[in-house]
Amino acid sequence: MSIRFGTSGWRAVIADDFTFTGVRAVTEAICKLFARSEQRSDLMIVAHDTRFLGERFAAESAGVIAARGFRALLATGATPTPALSHAIRTQNAICGINFTASHNPPEYNGMKLSTGDGAPALPEITQQVESLIDLTESTRQETSSEPSYSSFDPKADYLADLSSKIRFDLIASSGGRYAFDPLWGTGRGYLDELLRSHRVRVDTIHDWRDVLFGGRSPEPESSHLDELRGVVLENNCTLGMATDGDSDRFGVIDSNGTFITPNQLIALLFDYLIESRKWVGGVARSVATSHLVDRVAKAHGLPVYETPVGFKYIGELINEDKIVLGGEESAGLSIKGHYPEKDGILACLLAAEAVASRGSSLTAQLEALYGRFGKVESARIGVRLTPQLMGSLSTRLAQDPDSIAGRRVESTNRIDGVKFMFADGSWLLMRPSGTEPLVRIYAESESKKDLEVLLDQGRKYLLG
C-alpha cells in the first residue's frame, strides 16, 4: 500500500487502505519531520469528525505523538476543521491533525495535516511526510490505564472568536428565522448554538451522529439539501444554511428555496464586505472559480489573485494580509483577519449578516450584482479516470490547441491542470481531482445553453 496526500490530506476507504497501521505510520512520519525542524513548540493537536472510528483513530494518533516525545492534545467530541485551525494558533501548537474525509462518501476517512499557522500543509510539507512513511516500522503503541495525552474542548474559544467577527446584532435585530443542516457532521452544536446564544431562532435538522451520513456524501450541494429547502419554505425562513462533514464547506438556500452557488456567494460576500466594512485588499480565487468575482474586484479597483486548487494557497494570502476574501467554487471561503483555512460556519454566518444588513434576500442581491457587472453561468462535471484515460491524460493536457470545437483559444493557463480562455470571455478548465479518481471539467459562459455546449466540448476534447 502506498500512502499519498491529495489536495486536502490523505484519504482512503476504512479497513481497506485506511487502517490503524496506516494511521500510526503517517503519525510517526509527521513526528519525524517536526523532530528535524527548529520547532517553536512541542505541542501537536489531534481532532476528528463524526465518521466511523474517528475517535479511535484520533486517540491512536495522539498516543503515537506522545510516545515520540511530543505533547499531544486531543480535542473532545467531533471538531470542525476551522475550530482546530483556531486551536492550533491559540494553543501555539506546531501542527494539528484532523481525522476527516470532509465531504467524501461515508466509507472514507482521512488525515488532514495543518501547520502551526492553522493552514493546510503545503505540498512541500506533505511530500516530506510521504517520504518518511514506513509501514514496516509501524507498531502498535503500548497503552496503560492512563492516557499519555491531554484532552481539551476547542468549542468555546472558537465560537467566541466568531462572535467577534460577525454582526450578530444585525442578524438578531432583523427578526429572521433560520434553518440549519449539519448533514450529521461537526457543524451540529456549533453554528446553531452560536445563533441561539445571540437570540436568533434556528431550526436544526439531522442533529445527531450518523456515520453513514444518511447513505450519501456529507456534501452541502443543492441535490443534498432538499430537506433543508423544505424546512426553509415551510417555516418561512430567511435563510437555510448547511455545512459538510468537517464544516469547512458551506451550502446556502435562500428564502425562496433557491440554492445560491458557492461561485455566486463568493462574489456577493466580497462585494458586501468591501461596501460594509470598507476593507482594503484584493480577492483570491482558485483557477476553477468563477470570474464573476473578478468583475466585482475590477469595479472596486482591487487586485485578483488566482491560485491553484487547494485552500492552502489562498491561506498564504490571508496570512500575508493581501486579501479581503478568498474563495473556491468547491465551497471554501475565509476572510481578512480570520484563519488561513476555509470555514463553512463563517461563510454561512456572513451570508446571514449580508441579508440582515442589506434588508434584501440573496436572490435579490444577486440580481442587483448581475445588473451591475453582467451575468455569468458556471458549472463543472466529472469524468471517471479509467485506465484508458489515465494513459492519454498527460499527453492530452499538455497540448496547446489553437481552437476547441471552433472556439479560438486566446490564452492558456497551466497554474493547475489546463485552462483555455476564449475570445468571448468564456473559459474551460480540465484538471485531475486531488481527492477522487476523476478528471474535473469546469466551464463558464454568459448563458446556460452555451455553458452546456462548452462542458460537452470539454468532455469530447478530453476523451479524444
Q: Does 373 score more than 90 pLDDT? A: yes
**Starting at the edge strand that comes first in sequence, how are the strands of the sheet with 201-204 ordered?**
201-204, 177-181, 239-243, 250-254, 259-260
Q: What is the pLDDT of residues 305-349, one digit of tens each?
A: 999 999 999 999 999 999 999 999 999 999 999 999 999 999 999
8 A C-beta contact, residue 75 and residue 93: no
Average pLDDT over residues 385-398: 85
- Residue 142 scores a pLDDT above 90: no
Strand intervals (E) in 196-303: 201-204, 239-243, 250-254, 259-260, 282-286
Round to whole Å and give the CA distance between 411 and 415.
13
Give residue 144's pLDDT. Answer: 47
Q: Kindly tell me if the per-residue pLDDT of 394 is higher than 90.
A: no
What amino acid occupies position 278?
K
Q: What is the pLDDT of residue 236?
A: 98
Give the distance from CA 352 to its chain's centroid.
19
Q: Helix, strand, or coil here: 284? A: strand
Check residue 388 and give its pLDDT: 82
pLDDT more than 90, % of the chain? 87
Residue 143: predicted pLDDT: 45
**Phi, psi torsion values for 73, nearest 5 degrees:** -120, 120
Q: Check whether 139 has a pLDDT greater than 60.
A: no
* Calpha distance 347→45 (Å, rounded): 24
pLDDT for 147 equals 64
Q: Rounded mean pLDDT of 218-239?
A: 98
Domains with residue ranges and CATH for the chain:
10-154 (3.40.120.10), 165-373 (3.40.120.10), 377-463 (3.30.310.50)
Query: Does residue 237 have a pLDDT over 90?
Result: yes
Cell numbers representing residue 358 in the block: 442589506
Sign of CA dihedral 386, 389, 391, 397: negative
Q: In this structure, what C-alpha cell is assigned to residue 154?
A: 476547542
Give the three cell numbers for residue 245: 462533514
Residue 161 has pLDDT above 70, yes or no: yes
Distance in angstroms (rounded) separating the CA atoms of residues 90 and 99: 20
* C-beta separation of 65 from 321 below 8 A: no
Average the pLDDT over 198-218 and give the result: 97
Contact yes or no for 414/421 (Cβ under 8 A): no
Closest by Cα among 297, 293, 295, 272 to 359: 272
Q: Which of 316, 310, 314 is nearest to 325 (CA)?
A: 314
Instruction: With cut-offs at 50, 70 and 90, classify the pLDDT of residue 434.
Output: confident
Which grid coordinates belong to 361? 434576500
Of 296, 248, 304, 260, the residue nearest 275 (C-alpha): 296
pLDDT tier, 293 (very low <50, low <70, confident <90, very high otherwise): very high
Q: What is the mean pLDDT of residues 353-358?
A: 98
pLDDT the model gives residue 141: 54
Order of all β-strands in the sheet with 282-286? 304-307, 282-286, 323-328, 332-335
Average pLDDT of the chain is 94
Which amino acid, residue 415?
I
Residues 6+ away with beta carbon under 8 Å from 253: 179, 225, 228, 229, 232, 239, 240, 241, 242, 259, 260
The pLDDT of residue 283 is 98
Q: In the predicted model, is pLDDT for residue 140 greater than 70?
A: no
Average pLDDT over residues 280-292: 97
CB–CB of 380/440 below 8 Å?
yes
Residue 316: predicted pLDDT? 95
pLDDT greater than 70 at residue 259: yes
Residue 40, C-beta contacts closer than 8 angstroms, at least 6 positions apart: 92, 94, 116
On the question of pLDDT at 153 being above 90, the answer is yes
Place 386 in a pLDDT band, splitting at 50, 70 and 90.
confident
Q: CB-based contacts of 414: which residues, under 8 Å, 6+ apart?
A: none
More confident of the two residues 82 and 37: 82
pLDDT exceeds 80 at position 145: no
For residues 174 and 195, the answer to whether their CB atoms sit within 8 Å is: no
pLDDT at 51 over 50: yes
